[in-house]
Chain A
Amino acid sequence: MGQLLQQEIFKFRHQRLAWLAPVILVLLQAGLAMTAHGVSVSDQKFYVSSAYGGFQWLTILIIVIGASCVTMEFEYGTIKQLAIQVNHRWTIFVGKYVLVLGYSVLLHGVVILMTLLLKGSSGRNCSWQNIYLYHQSLLTNLVTNAALDMYGGVMIVGLVFLLASCSHNSAAAIAIGVGVCFVGEGVSSLLLQSFKSLLPVMKWNPFNMFFLQEEYGNPSYQQNVTHLTIQQLGVGNLVWALFFVGVGAVIFSRRRI
């Protein structure tokens, strides 16, 4: 597994997107920080705690990277070379999953660092020590948001990997991945509102788990949208992540090459 992971890192760091993603993130965060110039202190706190939209952009980038990471092996025909090197093909899948999660952690670090810099230049009228949600400081809110986003990414990447394993080209996998992850939230809340009698079961649907980080930023979501506590969403995310990775690994292993 170690050698496989090393190979994946080697390939990944030679891809343009690996170096371009942090630059794109930084530019998008800076762009939003510029529009947030002169807003009220309360809004500034929101922008800072959400890393100037960095977490949302990061999710899109991770979906793109995750989907292409899996499908490229089938597109380039390199899966055969990889499969010869290992006894169990699922180890390739898990290796890639670990790589993308690791890269997600790295990007979250970049997002936090950039938020610190942007806050220093454009959000001087609110302090890091200011109390924001849950009677915690703004800095704690930012770090907690980042941690929850990373944690939520475990399921999102798992779902994207599962979809990519069924797909024949990266463009389709990316489109479906982005679509499912962003439309999924809407579909989930619509279902929960429409089928109230099925709520006890339906609230555990995987799309509802996407609200983990948003519920932290908007505590009212528990009553109005998800009908689950943060802790329940956390457990749900983990269980669905394991399910997606497990099913994805089986599909990946059995795919004809």
Chain B
Amino acid sequence: MQRIQESMVRVVGLRKTFGRRTVLHDVNFEFSAGKIVGLVGPNGAGKTTIMKALLGLLATDAGNIRILSQPVSVTTHTVVTQQVGALIERPAIYPFLSGWQHLQLITNSVAQMKWVVQVFQMEHYIYRPAKRYSLGMKQKLGIAMALVNRPRLVILDEPMNGLDPQSVKRLRHLIVQLAREGTTFLISSHILSELEKIIDTVILIDQGQVLLQRTMAQFQESARQSLMIRTMENARALRVLLQADYPVIQRGSDLIVSKPVALTPLLHILLDAHIQILKVNQYQEDLETVLLRLLAERKA
């Protein structure tokens, strides 16, 4: 029996202007429950504006937002108050309260508070006033506040900001684990290499428009592959491969085959020509390269 996936977020025709400047143009996207969705794009693309609109923090000029099929606007966002946790821009922290007191503001469940403190390893400073926290400590507290109620949808704006590598790894594991348990994540981050490791779907935004929404599987299919070969006689190897109609160029001391090709026949050609092969590497574009290429292609 096919499992029907519940729609978590549905955004249709979203438009927002600040004065004369249009920051969101007809934004449309949708994703289902249990997914980890990456919202990526250059600075000023409109990522935070979209997140604020999803949380009912921002009045929009046109369009429709639904979370779990319930409408979201500045004056109607009951679903957000009950089912959504968020960290937007910077952690919402009162310097005079301790980390524990911040969690107390959000939940009455001591068990949930202990869980989140333990998960982020905040035990040794959670009772200290937040004014004595470092940037990373504040960031962890901000994320903990978004998660402590175990909401169904978690919206995280640049969650890796200020975190040390160990904390980033721990956060990554936690997000994946919670997603497996049914929590949906919408995450924006500039650290695409980190985001790439966890997201199921990517939404690319530029100049207030959704350029594409793809699953990571679709993304990997469209990512360009290339082959790097280093031989003892690169000039002769280049000639031989060109004669055999391979799309090859020389870059420094390497030969680059710019399309995915079968490796065995190519190696046979070189070996038959008695060319000694020193190194062979296969490359696939990562998320960052693909996105930068797409953005550059759009501008061109």
Most-contacted residue by chain B among A15, A77, A82 (CB, 10 A): A77
In Å, the complex CA distance between A39 and B57 comes to 59
Contacting residues of chain B (79-106) with chain A, CB-CB under 8 angstroms = 80-81, 84, 86, 88-97, 101, 104-105
- Residues of A with C-beta under 8 A to B97: 11, 14
A134 on interface, CB distance cutoff 8 Å: no
Q: Is the CB of A16 within 8 A of B96?
A: yes
Give the contact stretch, choosing among B70-78, B247-255, B286-294.
Answer: B70-78
- Residues of A80-119 at the interface with B, using a CB-CB cut-off of 8 Å, are 80-89
> Do A80 and B75 touch across chains, with their CB atoms under 8 A apart?
no
Residues of A within 8 A of B56 (CB): 83-84
Let me know if B92 and A87 touch, CB within 8 A. no
| A85 touching B89, Cβ below 8 Å | no
Are the CB atoms of A78 and B57 closer together than 8 Å? Answer: no
From A16, A76, A87, A257, B57 is in contact (CB under 8 Å) with: A257
The answer on a CB contact under 8 Å between A77 and B105 is no
Considering the chains assembled together, what is the distance between the CA atoms of A7 and B106 in angstroms?
Answer: 9
The CB with the most chain A CB atoms within 10 A, among B75, B81, B92, is that of B92
Asked if B57 and A84 sit within 8 Å, CB to CB, the answer is yes
A7-B105, A77-B89, A80-B88 known; A88 vs B75 contact (CB < 8 Å): yes
- Within 8 Å by CB of A72, from B75, B81, B94, lies B94
Query: How far, in whole Å, are A218 and B78 apart by their CA atoms in the complex?
Result: 52
Distance A257 CA – B48 CA, assembled complex (angstroms): 11
Let me know if A10 is at the binding interface, CB within 8 A: yes
The residue on A at minimum CB distance from B93 is A76
Asked if B145 CB lies within 8 Å of chain A CBs, one says yes
Which of B75, B84, B91, B101 has a CB less than 8 Å from the CB of A84? B84
Chain B residues contacting A81 (CB-CB under 8 Å) are: 92, 145
Q: Are A84 and B96 in contact (CB under 8 A)?
A: no
Chain B residue at smallest Cβ distance from A86 = B81
CB distance from A249 to the nearest CB of B (A): 13
Determine the distance from Cα of A77 to Cα of B104 in the docked complex, in whole angstroms.
18
Q: Are B96 and A87 in contact (CB under 8 A)?
A: no
The answer to whether B81 and A84 have CB atoms under 8 Å apart is yes
A residues 35-83 near B (Cβ < 8 Å) are: 72, 76-83
Q: Could you say which residues of chain A place their CB within 8 Å of the CB of B95? A: 76
Taken together as a complex, chains A and B put the C-alpha atoms of A10 and B52 apart, in Å, by: 27
Are A10's CB and B105's CB within 8 A? yes
Whether A84 contacts B55 in the complex (CB less than 8 A), given A7-B105, A11-B105, comes out as yes
The docked-state distance in angstroms from the alpha carbon of A232 to that of B75 is 37
Q: By the criterion CB–CB under 8 Å, are A83 and B105 in contact? A: no
Contact A85 B92 (CB under 8 A): no
- List, in ascending order, chain B residues with CB within 8 A of A77's CB: 89-93
Q: Nearest-CB distance from A185 to chain B (Å)?
A: 34
Interface residues of A in 155-191 (CB under 8 A from B): none
Given known pairs A83-B57, A84-B57, A84-B86, the reply for A78 and B92 (CB within 8 Å) is: yes
- Say whether A80 contacts B92, CB under 8 Å: yes
CB-defined contacts of B74 to chain A, threshold 8 Å: 89
Closest to A81 in B: B92
Q: Which residue of the partner chain B has the closest CB to A76? A: B94
Contacts of A76 in B (CB 8 A): 92-95
Tell me which residues across on chain B come within 8 A of A11, comparing CB atoms. 94, 97, 105
Residues of A within 8 A of B96 (CB): 14-16
Q: Which residue of B lies closest to A18 (CB)?
A: B96
Contacting residue for A87 out of B55, B77, B88, CB 8 A: B77
Q: CB-CB < 8 A to A79: which residues of B?
A: 92
> How far, in Å, is B152 (CB) from chain A's closest CB?
14
Q: Which residues of A contact B78 (CB under 8 A)?
A: 87
**Minimal beta-carbon separation of B78 from chain A (angstroms):** 6
Q: In the assembly, what is the distance between CA of A78 and CA of B106, in Å?
A: 12
Within 8 A of B (CB), among A177-236: none
Give min CB distance, B153 to chain A, whole Å.
12
Q: A80 to B89, Cβ gap below 8 A?
A: yes
B→A interface (CB under 8 Å): 52, 55-57, 74-78, 80-81, 84, 86, 88-97, 101, 104-105, 145
State the A residues within 8 Å of B (CB).
Answer: 7, 10-11, 14-16, 72, 76-89, 257
Q: A79-B92, A80-B88, A84-B55 are known contacts; what are 6 more A-B pairs with Cβ within 8 Å? A: A11-B97, A72-B94, A80-B92, A84-B81, A87-B77, A88-B75
Instruction: Give 5 closest A-B pairs by Cβ, nearest first.
Output: A81-B92, A78-B92, A15-B96, A77-B90, A80-B88
Residue pairs across A and B with Cβ atoms less than 8 A apart, 18 shown, are A7-B105, A10-B104, A10-B105, A72-B94, A76-B92, A76-B95, A77-B89, A77-B92, A77-B93, A78-B92, A80-B86, A81-B92, A83-B56, A83-B57, A84-B56, A84-B77, A87-B76, A87-B78
